[in-house]
Structure 1
């Protein structure tokens, strides 16, 4: 039996546009390099493909600097997809750009109609539930609307809270297998992962928490050696990808793909 929370046959990515230098950022860490971003994105797509998955590579969208971060536009589940309603006004139009691709892939595509907001970066699907973190981009009304939709498909949703000053719930956590979550200590200390096996990232390596388990691989941002070593010792096959440009736009491994 496959595990739909980390075993995937397809992924959707979008190449970064030149306008990415104008992307949103919570903290000014310098301007990302388009060349660096393209190189890292190519490596990321190659890693996904190396597992045997089909990767749908969408064209850049100059009008939407943050459109490379496709995960925020939708939630993909085995039963169907849900189009999100981003909390950042400049990103609202990205959802309509993603919708045709998802309708080609799924017979059942629902959407968050509002007035609430919710972004995919705040949603962690585990082997037993859909965890949604309230954040600056995801509010109570958005969570409530999603809960109704996924209940139709037999999923239970649990609302949790993203630490203050952290952009998205998955900035601070990622699923390693059906029962194991990689997290920052500030997030795991909140008790939101009770009942799961928790692997805390090394102190000072909090940015390593935004990883993805994709089939046999764990894709991690490069530059966090203690966390990579811990995952390796725990039996995971780790691929490290340069995330230095992505990080300047608060982006990470999960943001760059929709996986289903």
Structure 2
């Protein structure tokens, strides 16, 4: 039996546009290099494809500098997909741009109508529940509306809280398998993962927490050797991908694809 939390046959990605240099960022640590970002993006897409999955590669959207971070636009589940309602005003239009691609893949497509806001980067689907982190981009009304939608599909949703100063819930955690979570110590200390097997990022390597388990591989940002070694010793097959340019826009491995 397949595990719907990490065994996928398809993914959707979007190529970065030249306007990516104007993308949102919590703090300015430099302007992204489009060439280097595209090279890393190609490596990311090739790694997904190497597992046998089909990758639907959407064209760049110059009107939306952050549009390569497709995960925030939707939640993809086996029963259907839900279009999100981003908390960043400049990103609201990305959802309508994603809708046709999802409509072509899903029989059932729901949407967050508002007035609340919710982004995919705050949602972690585990083997037993859907965890949604309240953050600067995801509010109580958005969480409540999503809870109503996914309950129709038999899911339990649990609201948790993202640490102050952390953009998205999944900035600090990721799913390694249905019962195992990679997390920073600061997020795990909140108690939100009680009952799960939790692996901590190495001290000083908190930025390695945003990885993705995609079929047999764990895609993680390059440059965090201690965390990579921890995952390797835990039996995971790790592929390290240059995230230097996406990191300048608070982006990571999960942000770059919708997986289903």
* TM-score between the two structures when normalised by the length of structure 1: 1.00
Q: How does 1:1-260 map to 2 (within 5 A)?
A: 1-260=1-260
Q: What is the distance in 2 between the residues matched to 1:253 and 1:28?
A: 20
TM-superposed CA distance for 1:200, in Å, is 0.3
Q: What is the distance in 1 between the residues matched to 2:46 and 2:27?
A: 30
Q: Deviations over 1:189-246 (max 9, x none)?
A: 1000000000000010000000000000000000000000000000000000000000
Q: What is the distance in 2 between the residues matched to 1:200 and 1:91?
A: 31
Q: What is the distance in 1 between the residues matched to 2:246 and 2:207?
A: 11
Residue 24 of structure 2: SS of its match in structure 1?
coil
Structure 1 runs, 4 residues or longer, greater than 3 Å off? none
Q: Deviations over 1:160-184 (max 9, x none)?
A: 0000000000000000001100000
TM-superposed CA distance for 1:83, in Å, is 0.1
TM-superposed CA distance for 1:44, in Å, is 0.1
Runs of 5+ consecutive residues of structure 2 not aligned to the other structure: none
Q: What is the distance in 2 between the residues matched to 1:188 and 1:229?
A: 20
Q: What is the distance in 2 between the residues matched to 1:39 and 1:31?
A: 16
TM-superposed CA distance for 1:27, in Å, is 1.0
Q: What is the distance in 2 between the residues matched to 1:163 and 1:47?
A: 31
Q: What is the distance in 2 between the residues matched to 1:58 and 1:37?
A: 16
Q: Deviations over 1:112-166 (max 9, x none)?
A: 0000000000000001100000000000000000000000000000000000000
* TM-score between the two structures when normalised by the length of structure 2: 1.00
Q: How many residues align?
A: 260
Q: What is the distance in 2 between the residues matched to 1:44 and 1:18?
A: 19
